A and B are shown apart, each in its own frame.
Chain A
Amino acid sequence: MIDCHTHWGRAWTERDGLDPRRWLEPLTAHGVQRAMVMPEEGLLDAGRIGRDNDRVAAVCARSDGRMIPCCTVNLWMREEAARETRRCLGDLGMRGIKFHPWLQGGSVSSPLMDEVCELAAEYGVPVLFHDGTPPFCLPSQMALLARRHPGVQIVLGHSGLFEHWREAIAALKGTPNLWGCLCGPHVAAMREIVRQCDLSRLLWGTDHGYGLADVYQYRFPLMDTLRLSDAARQAIFDDNPARLLRGPASASKIR
């Protein structure tokens, strides 16, 4: 099982330094083997991006492969953003790029986002977004980005949240390299996403690590209320994340 939406947050650094053991405890307790780990401080403070990317890489390196490091860059840093992307993906071996456009103050439609996507294609890593909140985080904005970069796997980190999940469905249906992470919408919305969208591009995540709370106690039973088939669970919790991390998506559909 792979959790596709987690963070290494400031609270963890302040308490545990670079030791991931306590961060991993709830994963172990709930049977989650691996997690895609994104920064938090770097999303909030552009001046600390390099340091936070280093920190995420270092923590993940101590996790016996269970924590898959993702970096972030700030598009307003222009050339430096491209350099930092190369450093993270090349030198540090990070396996994804995360953007939180409203927190970071940058548009998904910025030309620099296109440059970052070209680097993502070069290194074969996905680009993950916070989504579900205007004006910078609409699923439709990410769909158009994905269509401009058909060789890059783009992930809606929240599948539209509470207000834009219908938009997420439309975006996912019309964009074969767009993925939806079930981390945020209410139960009725998730049911509809699962019913309408290509199951082979749905993922699951928890936002674990943004704070110190054990969010798995909430996220797991929440997913249970969907009463997914065994095949759907296998796809969403295991197979799809593994395929996303391997590279370009296959077009196969699971029903």
Chain B
Amino acid sequence: MVIDSYTTPGTERETALSAGELLKAMDRAGVERAVIAPQDREIAVRHAEGNDRILKLASASGGRFIPACSVSPWRGEEGLRLLREASRCGAKMLVLAPMLQGFIPTDEIADPLLKLAGELRMPVYVHTGPHSAGGPTQGVLMAEAHPGTNFILGHCGSTDHAWDMPVILQRNRLPNVWYEASLVRPWAVPGYLKAAGSSRIIFGTAMPRNDMEFELAQLRRLLPEEEHPDVYGGNLARLLGEGA
């Protein structure tokens, strides 16, 4: 089963994508299930609204969408309440986007939220990239400080942290960290897989920022699905507590 670990059916700007369009793209690409996450405005400020929208889309999808939620660490106690509520309603993953939400991953402001995500057994997807709030090395320190919480480093820092990633994968591997490959150039993924092992790499497309069919075809060319079923869905399913 192929599971896309990160998509954004939304209504605004580059994430304007209806649930129907996403399902059609999944059918075309041969993706059975996809994690759906709130769009940027919902990740930045409209958390309850975004979580509610995503949960509704998931509940109407016949199990094909796996809902993620987002809460800014700056919401404090109110944020913890929002996360508990989202979890109670079925959210399976917490999305943090440090650049968008205005915090450095190692900042103690995020500690209560990360601790609670661990208690709720909800993996935390952290967007990483070439900016000062969300580098993959920051993600490692964040995960190190929260051994009871599972983390997915989204995008593996994408392009300009390509020098950090081999060191992280070889020397700073943590039992509570997985590595998601959307926005990583496809030819870099086999090297990451070799360094981290097949149980740690997770396929994702970041649709609609990327084209799902294209991204999957590119990765399949370099990492045949039949040889790496865990990358294409098994690892994520286990992480979400759904078996594989």
Contact = CB atoms under 8 A, between A and B. Distances in A.
Contact of B185 (A133, A134, A218): A218
A29 interface: no
B187 interface: yes
Given A187-B209, A218-B186, A163 B214 contact: no
Residue from B99, B130, B131, B217 whose CB has the most chain A CB atoms within 10 Å:
B130
A222 interface: yes
A189 B209 contact: yes
A162 B187 contact: no
Interface residues of B, number: 24
B131 A134 contact: yes
Label chain B's interface by main secondary structure. Answer: loop
Contacts of B160: 102, 132-133, 161
B130 A221 contact: no
A162 B158 contact: yes
A161 B159 contact: yes
A163 B218 CA distance: 22
B158 A217 contact: no
Contacts of B132: 134
Contacts of B187: 211, 213, 215, 218
Contact of B129 (A162, A211, A213, A218): A162
Contacts of A163: 99, 129-131
B183 to A, nearest CB: 6
Contacts of B183: 162, 186
Nearest to B131: A163
Contacts of A187: 209-211, 214
B88 interface: no
A139 to B, nearest CB: 13
A102 to B, nearest CB: 8
Interface in A177-220: 184, 186-189, 191-192, 211, 213, 215, 217-218
A225 interface: yes
The 8 closest A-B pairs by CB, nearest first: A188-B14, A133-B130, A213-B187, A186-B209, A188-B209, A225-B211, A133-B160, A186-B210
20 contacts: A134-B130, A134-B132, A161-B130, A162-B158, A163-B99, A163-B131, A184-B159, A186-B183, A186-B206, A187-B210, A187-B211, A187-B214, A188-B14, A189-B14, A191-B14, A217-B221, A218-B187, A218-B218, A221-B214, A222-B214
